[in-house]
């Protein structure tokens, strides 16, 4: 099965921060892949913009090096690489001054899609928006792309929203959470709403609890300063895990359309109860496996920033009342794994008697690595000697099921950048969604600060702090998904 490529309309894409890490490692390789896939029209152009005084040729050289590093297989094709580089232009400008802006205006094509990607720190969002507006670059075909972090708390997120709203309509603003661009995350919606099988059971009557795990083996190297201010709650829970929770818990939207989907997600966030302090565990990785601990990495012996957080959340609505959602994420854990486990309840009555044991179905959705779905079902243990039951997995790996050409799904940024050009906001966060997520997150963080909470140390290369196991054990449950 080969994926269909639907060409997009001609566009100009300006990447502010075009020389930066995100642009070089993610955005430009994603654009290159789509170019190689034949999705670009003849005359689309990308303009890199930053303060560095570079010629267009020098910028192309930098991008060529990045592509050879980050997209080596496709960059081997020199014809494709040269073709892509020819579409690149560069303008030196400063968001904080008038320098370079008339030149940028002159390079843009009239009457076509114009996307401005803010691949810069959030303090530049306001100045960039002002410059774009004052240089007359806004039209009804203008789109603005902003990166996470979208605010540090509710107050700052509101500030960013109102700064952008002063210049652009909500329909022109694309807030990226790259998790939503992952093929398997979109599959959550396909699995839920494309099959009859699951949806009738998808509620508190049949689901005992749901677990969402995003475990990373990496630490915070290279991002120490940012991470010290953020921590796992702001960096992962408020956005990525919250988005996964929304997709798992939301009501079926009437159609797969941006506002219908985002309205349903927003309802989930607003239905979240405040989290009780004893339902949260914070952790910080200590030295282990010959690697330095968090405090050494960030060079702050008294740091109280969490690199791990686990919590129990409740979605208070008809569908989910009484079904807890356990969410956890952490760094320097034993394995890299993003997985959602939907644990169904036991059958109400066992006709096989107590000796056969009690069994319950579980649906496990693996987002990475080895994307796929496993449904745990109960069967008879083979052989004579009475009716004994065992659990077996019905396992579907997407790579195996969809064939080798789909083993390497497109990076999230490929999908998202092309959606910006297409003008499809379904996989982007709306301003009210982001604010609602902060409104739920802020009291948790404020509570830690007020109580002077210190995260529990956990060994690098482990499954996280022991208290996270206790959080489950107290409820007679246990975590699934990452194994030591
Ligand atoms: P970075 O490597 O520091 O790059 C910043 C870019 O902005 C550079 O191209 C810089 O070039 C340009 N710049 C800085 N000040 C400017 C100004 N006054 N006017 C115009 N251009 C200016 O940062 P990054 O890692 O790419 O991150 C960019 C944004 O994406 C940040 O908000 C970050 O939080 C977010 N993000 C990054 C990642 C990632 O993996 N890197 C992941 C998720 C989100 P000059 O110095 O030449 O101006």
Residues in contact with 449: Cβ distance below 8 Å, sequence separation at least 6, in sequence order = none
> Residue 170 is encoded by which pair of tokens?
């909500």
Q: What is the mean pLDDT of residues 72-81?
A: 92
Tell me the per-residue pLDDT of 88-98, one tens digit each, with 9 for 90 and over. 999 999 999 99
Cβ(16)–Cβ(120) below 8 Å: yes
Inform me whether the pLDDT recorded for 221 exceeds 60: yes
Inform me whether the pLDDT recorded for 484 exceeds 60: no
Q: Which residues are catalytic?
A: 240
Could you tell me the pTM of the whole model?
0.93
Report the atom number in ligand 1 closest to the C-alpha of 226: 34
Please work out whether the CB of residue 96 comes within 6 Å of at least one atom of ligand 1.
Answer: yes
Measured in Å, residue 146 CA sits from the centre of ligand 1 at: 11
Please work out whether the CB of residue 147 comes within 6 Å of at least one atom of ligand 1.
Answer: yes
Rounded Cα distance between 223 and 228, Å, is 9
Inform me whether the pLDDT recorded for 58 exceeds 90: yes
Of residues 158 and 184, more confidence is placed in: 158
Q: What is the mean pLDDT of residues 73-79?
A: 91
Cβ(153)–Cβ(121) below 8 Å: no
Tell me the per-residue pLDDT of 418-460, one tens digit each, with 9 for 90 and over. 999 999 999 999 999 999 999 999 999 999 999 999 999 999 9
Cβ(426)–Cβ(243) below 8 Å: no
Tell me the per-residue pLDDT of 169-205, one tens digit each, with 9 for 90 and over. 999 999 999 999 988 888 899 999 999 999 999 999 9
Of residues 153 and 186, more confidence is placed in: 153
Burial (CB count within 10 angstroms: exposed 0-12, middle 13-18, buried 19+), residue 299? exposed
Residue 430: C-alpha distances to residues 114, 248, 418 (Å)? 20, 18, 18
pLDDT band per the 50, 70, 90 thresholds, residue 388: confident
Rounded Cα distance between 49 and 337, Å, is 36
Measuring from atom 48 of ligand 1, which residue has the nearest CA? 51
Measuring from atom 3 of ligand 1, which residue has the nearest CA? 20
Domain parsing of the chain, residue ranges? 11-147, 180-473
Domain 11-147 and domain 180-473 have a common topology = no
Measuring from atom 28 of ligand 1, which residue has the nearest CA? 120
> Pseudo-torsion of CA 20, 23, 28, 30, nearest 10°?
150
Please work out whether the CB of residue 52 comes within 6 Å of at least one atom of ligand 1.
Answer: yes
CB 262: neighbour CB atoms within 10 A? 22
Average per-residue pLDDT for the chain:
93
Tell me the per-residue pLDDT of 122-134, one tens digit each, with 9 for 90 and over. 999 999 999 999 9
Please work out whether the CB of residue 97 comes within 6 Å of at least one atom of ligand 1.
Answer: no
pLDDT band per the 50, 70, 90 thresholds, residue 368: confident
113-128 CB burial, b ≥16 within 10 A, e <16: bbbbbbbbebebbbeb
Cβ(116)–Cβ(132) below 8 Å: yes
Rounded Cα distance between 232 and 9, Å, is 39
Tell me the per-residue pLDDT of 241-279, one tens digit each, with 9 for 90 and over. 999 999 999 999 999 999 999 999 999 999 999 999 999
Name the residue of 19, 120, 132 whose CB sits within 8 Å of the most ligand 1 atoms, as the mutation to test its pocket: 120
Rounded Cα distance between 141 and 114, Å, is 6
Q: What percentage of residues in the chain have a pLDDT greater than 70?
A: 97
Measured in Å, residue 82 CA sits from the centre of ligand 1 at: 25
Measured in Å, residue 22 CA sits from the centre of ligand 1 at: 7
Report the CATH number of the 11-147 domain. 3.40.50.720
Name the residue of 20, 235, 413 whose CB sits within 8 Å of the most ligand 1 atoms, as the mutation to test its pocket: 20
3-state secondary structure of 262: helix
Q: What is the mean pLDDT of residues 56-73?
A: 95
Q: Please identify which residue in the block is written with the tokens 């303009």.
A: 47
Report the atom number in ligand 1 closest to the C-alpha of 93: 20
Measuring from atom 40 of ligand 1, which residue has the nearest CA? 22
Inform me whether the pLDDT recorded for 289 exceeds 80: no
pLDDT at 7: 84
pLDDT at 125: 94
Tell me the per-residue pLDDT of 396-409, one tens digit each, with 9 for 90 and over. 777 677 766 666 67
The string of DSSP codes covering 432-474 is HHHHHHHHHHHHHHHHHHHHT--PEEEETTBSS-HHHHHHHHT
Measured in Å, residue 241 CA sits from the centre of ligand 1 at: 24
Rounded Cα distance between 258 and 432, Å, is 13
pLDDT band per the 50, 70, 90 thresholds, residue 3: low
Domain 180-473 has CATH 3.40.50.300: no
């Amino acid at each position: 099965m080969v994926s269909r490529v639907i060409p997009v309309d001609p566009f100009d894409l300006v990447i502010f921060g075009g020389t930066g890490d995100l642009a070089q490692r993610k955005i430009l390789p994603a654009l290159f892949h789509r170019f190689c896939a034949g999705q670009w029209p003849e005359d689309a152009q990308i303009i890199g913009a930053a303060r560095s005084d570079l010629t267009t040729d020098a910028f192309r050289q930098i991008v060529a090096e990045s592509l050879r590093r980050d997209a080596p297989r496709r960059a081997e094709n020199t014809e494709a690489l040269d073709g892509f580089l020819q579409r690149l232009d560069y303008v030196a400008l400063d968001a904080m001054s008038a320098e370079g802006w008339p030149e940028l205006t002159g390079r843009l094509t009239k009457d076509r899609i114009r996307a401005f990607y803010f691949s810069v720190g959030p303090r530049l969002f306001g100045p960039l928006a002002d410059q774009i507006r004052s240089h007359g670059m806004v039209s009804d075909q203008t789109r603005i792309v902003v990166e996470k972090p979208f605010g540090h708390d509710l107050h700052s997120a509101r500030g960013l929203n109102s700064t952008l709203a002063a210049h652009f309509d909500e329909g022109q603003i694309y807030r990226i959470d790259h998790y939503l661009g992952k093929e398997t995350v979109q599959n959550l919606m396909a699995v839920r709403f494309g099959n009859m099988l699951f949806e009738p059971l998808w509620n508190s009557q049949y689901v005992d609890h749901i677990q969402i795990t995003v475990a990373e083996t990496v630490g915070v190297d290279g991002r120490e300063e940012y991470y010290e201010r953020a921590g796992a709650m702001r960096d992962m829970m408020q956005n990525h895990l919250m988005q996964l929770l929304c997709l798992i818990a939301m009501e079926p939207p009437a159609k797969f359309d941006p506002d219908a989907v985002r309205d349903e997600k927003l309802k989930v966030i607003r239905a979240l109860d405040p989290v009780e302090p004893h339902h949260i565990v914070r952790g910080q990785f200590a030295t282990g496996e010959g690697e330095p601990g968090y405090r050494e990495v960030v060079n702050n012996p008294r740091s109280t920033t969490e690199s791990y957080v686990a919590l129990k959340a409740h979605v208070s609505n008809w569908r989910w009342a009484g079904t807890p959602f356990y969410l956890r994420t952490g760094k320097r854990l034993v394995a890299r794994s993003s997985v959602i486990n939907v644990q169904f309840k036991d059958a109400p009555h066992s006709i096989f008697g107590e000796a056969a044991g009690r069994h319950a179905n579980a649906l496990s959705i693996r987002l990475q690595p080895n994307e796929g779905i496993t449904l745990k079902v109960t069967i008879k243990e083979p052989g004579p000697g009475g009716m004994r039951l065992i659990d077996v997995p019905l396992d579907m790996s997407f790579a195996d099921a969809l064939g080798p050409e789909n083993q390497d799904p497109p990076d999230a940024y490929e999908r998202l950048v092309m959606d910006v050009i297409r003008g499809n906001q379904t996989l982007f966060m709306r301003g009210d969604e982001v604010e609602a997520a902060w409104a739920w997150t802020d009291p948790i963080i404020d509570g830690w600060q007020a109580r002077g909470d210190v995260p529990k140390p956990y060994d690098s290369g482990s499954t996280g702090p022991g208290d996270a196991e206790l959080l489950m054990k107290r409820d007679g449950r246990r975590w699934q998904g990452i194994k030591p």
